[in-house]
Structure 1
Amino acid sequence: MSLTINALTRGDQGKGVSRRLRRNHKIPAIVYGTDKAPSNITLDIFEITHLLENEESYTSVLDLMVDKKKEAVIIKDLQRHPAKNIVTHVDFLRINLKQAIVTSIPLHFNNEEDNEAIRLGAVLNQFVTSVEVSCLPTDLPHAIDVDISNLAMGEHISLTGLNIPKGVVITALTHGDIEAYDQSVVAVQEPKKMAEIEEEASVVAEDTDDENTENSDTDKDKLDS
């Protein structure tokens, strides 16, 4: 099922114009890429908000209808109001369906409730929540599933251990030295004891006090000189 978002060409620019648009339930956006000139456009706030309620919108090829002309795009960047979490600006990237694109895909960690070690008190540490991939737009996955049901205490899954769909490549593993870039994604580990946590906190506090004392002595020396 294709996802469609409608837009209108926007001529005026500037903060004043953007504020005026938002008062009328519109938001500014831009579309660029494929060697075409960037185009400033306007979106309906209710339509884009509804579209973004579908998680797949972030990793799907969208049909952007600009003045009734269709372009294939992906969402490249979003800006939101810091307090209201309302979308305030969208960047769309035009794509060529026959050329590979590079984008980030979320990781979905599944079957935690079936992991025996976690049921017995182990901790699941997620080091990576998304990975950058390269693929044709038609091969773009909405997410990469990571099954952790059989992960034992002390075991981990690295980038090379992910089940990647056919036609999709993790960009970090294309630099030649795979071992150097094959980072851990998720691990099942023994929970830290309270004494260890308190000891680490104490070390951090001591380091901070030493740094503050050193800075204070430096400032005093400057005043004395």
Structure 2
Amino acid sequence: MKIAAETRKLQGTGASRRLRNTGKTPGIVYGGSAAPTQIEIDHNTLYHALKKEKFHSSILDLEIDGKPQLALLRDYQMHPFRQLVLHVDFQRVDADKPVHMKVPLHFSGAENSPAVKLSKGMINHPINEVEVSCLPKLLPEFIAVDLSTMEAGKSLHVSDLKLPEGVSVVMHGKSDFVIASTVLPGGKKEEAEAAPAAAPAAAPAAKAPAKK
């Protein structure tokens, strides 16, 4: 995605407030060997871009005063109750160095899974994104997760993800955590659960010996 910005010359709380009154959003670009750069961006353009998932998980073509550079969206602040972006942060990207970025998981096929169709269960998603490491050009927009083969009582882990070549998940010391799990309706037992065994029939009472 491409977004245009201009160098911001005036700084401070008062200057930022006046800038917002003109329909611009203050921001900053940092990282790499260059010094941080204060920027301003058209508010409406930025506001609508923030609604797109791709804007949060892609390498951006950020043009500052007409000069392009690669960058990642790192943070932004919204007004507590107005639809107003107060500030935005970008990080410069080196095309030859790996980046760490959170990428959304796109789940599909749950309605066709045995867990839902046969067992009348549900599939939960404990997490909806994972952090990955890769070169900027290999960064995926999202990672697809196929749930169509999920069975009741089973779960999918991060090790089950089908990652694009050159992309790895950043674990941060965590184990192979769950990304999807199945749950049966409350109180319903597995159909495969064996029925309680019938009690053995009582043995016939022994007859007393006949008296002579």
Q: Which runs of 4+ in 1 moved over 3 A?
A: none
Equivalence for 1:125: 124
Equivalence for 1:136: 135
Structure 2: unaligned runs, 5 residues or longer: 188-212
Q: What SS is found at the alignment partner of 2:123?
A: strand
Superposed counterparts of 1:1-225, under 5 Å: 3-119=1-117, 120-172=119-171, 181-193=175-187
Structure 1: unaligned runs, 5 residues or longer: 194-225
Tell me which amino acid in the other structure corresponds to 1:16: G
RMSD: 1.8
Tell me which amino acid in the other structure corresponds to 1:161: D
Tell me which amino acid in the other structure corresponds to 2:168: V
- Give the whole-Å Cα distance in 1 for the aligned partners of 2:120 and 2:12: 54
- Give the whole-Å Cα distance in 2 for the aligned partners of 1:78 and 1:192: 41
- The Cα shift of 1:106 comes to 0.7
Tell me which amino acid in the other structure corresponds to 2:147: I
- The Cα shift of 1:63 comes to 1.3
Give the structure-1-normalised TM-score: 0.77
The 10-residue stretch of structure 1 (82-91 or 17-26) with the greater mean CA deviation from structure 2: 82-91
Pairs aligned (count): 187
Give the structure-2-normalised TM-score: 0.82
- The Cα shift of 1:55 comes to 2.0
- Whether the aligned pair in 1 keeps the contact of 2:114 and 2:152 (CA below 8 Å) is no
- The Cα shift of 1:32 comes to 0.5
- The Cα shift of 1:64 comes to 1.0
- Give the whole-Å Cα distance in 1 for the aligned partners of 2:159 and 2:146: 14
Q: What SS is found at the alignment partner of 1:160?
A: helix
Q: Tell me the alpha carbon deviations over residues 118-174 of structure 1, each in whole angstroms, 9 at most, x when there is no partner.
A: 24531211111111110000000000111111100011100101111110010117x
Higher gyration radius (CA)? 2
- Whether the aligned pair in 1 keeps the contact of 2:107 and 2:144 (CA below 8 Å) is yes
Q: What SS is found at the alignment partner of 2:35?
A: strand
- The Cα shift of 1:115 comes to 2.0
